[in-house]
């Protein structure tokens, strides 16, 4: 049995954050490939198959663990950072895009949270990172970004990343919150998640906000982001497309394109 390592941490920055994890001797933190920023001398890096929670299991257990991570868009491998020295050492991980790093103590959150795929950044060794399928038919057909989510289980610290501003809400029993599927960061295990039709022919055809939204029903805690990475990527792609600038400022925007050489 692998017990979760207890780790201390500090979060730096405001819009482009990083988290510094302090490790005691023989303590280990698991992180996504590509999240590493810097570390003290005396920390050993080791790439492992899966999330580290199945290292004592057989090959089938490791394959199952890694396969679940691949379905959420994560890598088959993770990197373990272990303090092999005699004193405290630090390792720092950086957020992949503007937003906030959210520390989550799973021992105080019921031992499990469900979060948006690609939200996981790093965690204490022993935290299991798996897949959470939303089982309701409507959610499966129309859930979009919220259909396949990540499940973090254990009693240690985990860190997830969200885009833009992050709001934390405590839902009371029976309290219902309607939200864009991409704006969900995470929620605790007692929160009920479903998909609801927006309704109205004008909303459906001209609303511009999608035909469906998610519903979160309490009791439980939820985290909400103001800037999903999919929305940011969509805007960047639209401005980068051919003729994208001509929408800006109407005639003046067109003149600007001509002066820049884009309209020639």
> pTM for the full model?
0.78
How far is residue 101's CA from residue 223's CA, in Å, rounded to a whole number?
Answer: 12
Q: What is the pLDDT of residues 19-62, one digit of tens each?
A: 999 999 999 999 988 899 999 999 999 988 766 655 444 555 55
As a residue count, the chain comes to 264
42-46, 182-186, 231-235, 254-258: segment of lowest average pLDDT: 254-258
Using only the alpha carbons of the chain, give its radius of gyration: 21
Structural domains in the chain, sorted by start: 8-229 (3.60.160.10)
Is residue 49 packed enough to be buried (19+ CB in 10 Å), middle (13-18) or exposed (0-12)?
middle
* Contact of 103 with 11, CB cutoff 8 Å: yes
Query: ∠ CA 62-156-31 to the nearest 5 degrees?
Result: 55
Task: Identify the CA nearest to 133 among candidates 155, 157, 150.
Answer: 150
């Amino acid at each position: 049995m692998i017990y979760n390592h207890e780790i201390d941490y500090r979060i730096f920055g405001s819009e482009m954050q990083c988290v510094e994890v302090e490790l005691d001797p023989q303590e280990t933190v698991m992180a996504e490939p590509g999240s590493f920023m810097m570390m003290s001398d005396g920390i050993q890096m080791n790439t492992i198959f899966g999330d580290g929670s199945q290292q004592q299991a057989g090959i089938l257990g490791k394959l199952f663990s890694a396969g679940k991570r691949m379905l959420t868009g994560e890598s088959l491998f993770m990197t373990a950072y272990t303090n092999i020295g005699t004193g405290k050492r630090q390792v720092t991980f950086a957020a992949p895009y503007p937003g906030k790093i959210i520390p989550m103590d799973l021992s105080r959150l019921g031992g499990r949270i469900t979060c948006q795929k690609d939200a996981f950044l790093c965690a204490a060794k022993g935290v299991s990172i798996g897949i959470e399928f939303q089982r309701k038919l409507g959610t499966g057909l129309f859930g979009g970004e919220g259909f396949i989510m990540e499940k973090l289980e254990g009693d240690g610290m985990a860190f997830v990343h969200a885009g833009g501003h992050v709001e934390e809400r405590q839902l009371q029993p029976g309290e219902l919150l309607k939200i864009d599927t991409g704006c969900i960061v995470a929620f605790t295990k007692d929160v009920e998640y479903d998909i609801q039709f927006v309704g109205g022919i004008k909303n459906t055809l001209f609303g511009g906000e999608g035909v469906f939204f998610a519903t979160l029903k309490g009791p439980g805690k939820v985290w909400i982001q103001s800037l999903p990475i999919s929305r940011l990527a969509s805007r960047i792609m639209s401005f980068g497309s051919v003729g994208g600038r001509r929408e800006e400022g109407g005639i003046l925007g067109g003149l600007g394109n001509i002066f820049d050489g884009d309209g020639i």
